A = this chain, B = another copy of it.
């Protein structure tokens, strides 16, 4: 529905939110960039709102979604980008190459788009082994083939020794919107169900262990995977309101972003959240909550409460969704907050990630 000025109701709502944000004028208190600004949590959001949204003034950017929906001629498409600075570059279950492909494929998929094309930008440090670069490129090619996308254009820059950290990769992705689903915060309403597509935290804990900072050996691999197929299955089942992949900041941060954007509450049942025992154990030793640990092959979905069973069945029919679970529901109050019903029967507020317990996880 559009008004006489040509703006849709949704755009007007978003513009209104920008205006409110401008009045609120989020401020970066720090004078310098900290690791927390890159952690995907509260500090990241403040930085993006105070610096980038303020500078670029684009309603698509202000939505803080995983990608932007665009019109190119007669088509609707999605553009997204992510840089990957993970350390170490190679880890159990994957490497920076497949992460860079899967991450961008997933950002397109959660926007409802069919992923089509990727660009690849490399920033290499002088002295980086060519064989490692070949290995990264081969992983990217294999991941692209698996996800049905083509890497069609690229760029390579080299910085002097000591001015980089081996290899950083940026991917941007283009997908086409072929479905009519209006996904996004505006579609979310009280009574909706909240699903998680699989066991959480495996990527983040794997990276932590791969750094060798803990004397733990565990049979754990990154969950990095392309999610376009289980997401397509879910969309086919119908009733989907909003999707986000749970990367930096973990499921807790994604739920907060959803609650905040939709101006609703979300109540989560701690016991319903799928976490493998080995992840739980490692998180206890690390003193972190698995709800804040990054996944690279899991997403959070808000679906029509009346269709939650069908949605769950559709997800579970795909290998990448076989452990999917309904973990909570959308409520009226308190707007913008996420509440956790703990295993002990209590209720507490779950905030966005604050600080950065696990830097350079992706």
Contact = CB atoms under 8 A, between A and B. Distances in A.
Contact of A117 (B79, B128, B137, B157): B79
A249 to B, nearest CB: 13
Interface string A159-201: 1101111001010101010100000000000000000000000
Interface in A113-164: 116-117, 119-131, 133-134, 137-138, 140-141, 144, 150-160, 162-164
Interface on chain A toward B: helix, strand, loop, or mixed SS? mixed
A57 interface: yes
Contacts of A151: 56, 58, 61
Contact of A79 (B128, B137, B152, B160): B152
Contacts of A131: 31
A123 B85 contact: yes
A60 B134 contact: no
A33 B85 contact: no
A38 interface: yes
A72 B55 CA distance: 30
Contact of A51 (B47, B81, B130, B168): B130
List the number of copies, as a whole number: 2
A79 to B, nearest CB: 6
Contact of A154 (B35, B61, B116, B152): B61
Contacts of A75: 72-75
A80 interface: yes
A70 interface: yes
Given A72-B75, A117-B68, A128-B33, A61 B163 contact: no
B31 A129 contact: yes
Contacts of A164: 163-165
B79 A150 contact: no
Given A51-B137, A116-B70, A170-B170, A155 B82 contact: yes
Given A38-B157, A72-B72, 14 more contacts: A32-B130, A37-B158, A51-B133, A52-B154, A56-B151, A60-B150, A68-B153, A70-B152, A72-B116, A73-B176, A79-B153, A79-B172, A81-B154, A82-B155
Interface of A: 28, 30-39, 44, 47-48, 51-52, 54-58, 60-61, 65, 67-68, 70, 72-75, 77, 79-85, 116-117, 119-131, 133-134, 137-138, 140-141, 144, 150-160, 162-165, 168, 170, 172, 174, 176, 178, 359-360
